[in-house]
Chain A
Amino acid sequence: KQEVTQIPAALSVPEGENLVLNCSFTDSAIYNLQWFRQDPGKGLTSLLLIQSSQREQTSGRLNASLDKSSGRSTLYIAASQPGDSATYLCAVEVQGAQKLVFGQGTRLTINP
């Protein structure tokens, strides 16, 4: 059974710092990995999608990497801003099944 773990559960950093959020998964048989952002009381906004054949994807100040063989992904946020404060969720799409398996999320707070 695929399991996804995100560490840390919560992170608080001052504005301007570069930071890394971690995601690990137990089964390397995935189609892709998707990072989402969720603001309190809101839905999920897709940030980056990495296909299983790719190593990384970039969007603005965000960079996500994927090491399928070791079951790890990282989300790098450069020059953090208070508006980046949110919960970040990692999800893998399981091969052979049309479903996402989610981690518990990392709650990020950027202090002005």
Chain B
Amino acid sequence: NAGVTQTPKFQVLKTGQSMTLQCAQDMNHEYMSWYRQDPGMGLRLIHYSVGAGITDQGEVPNGYNVSRSTTEDFPLRLLSAAPSQTSVYFCASSYSDQLYGYTFGSGTRLTVV
């Protein structure tokens, strides 16, 4: 099925560990982005990309790195996990003409202990 695929669905990390959250889309969308969802804070933009090789920071980028080597994939890297990064992470994608809205993945629930 076409859409945005995120892996893993759940992850527990120890403080200081690193990991990569994977995101892939098969709709040939130019735009891809990462959001985190926290109680009382809503969804906030971490990083986004308007095309392969181009990334930029969102509202809450600290502690996260991204790269976009292909149109399909947009991984999010946590270099040294902190308890403040406990959250639900969503990847989203859309066409650059902004006529069809965003499609979201099913999310990754991350706990940092």
Contacts and interface: CB of A to CB of B under 8 A. Distances in A.
Contact of B101 (A41, A43, A49, A89): A49
Interface of A: 31-32, 34, 36, 41-46, 49, 51, 89, 91, 93, 98-100, 102-105
Q: Is the interface of B mostly helix, strand, loop or mixed?
A: strand
B42 A103 contact: yes
Contacts of A49: 100-101
With a 10 A CB-CB cut-off, give which of B31, B48, B101, B107 has the most chain A CB atoms.
Answer: B101
Contacts of B90: 43-44
21 contacts: A32-B98, A36-B104, A42-B106, A42-B107, A43-B104, A43-B105, A43-B106, A43-B107, A44-B92, A46-B103, A91-B43, A91-B102, A93-B101, A98-B31, A98-B33, A98-B50, A99-B33, A99-B58, A100-B33, A100-B102, A105-B42
Given A99-B48, A102-B43, A103-B42, A32 B33 contact: no
Contacts of B105: 43
Nearest to A52: B98
A43 to B, nearest CB: 4
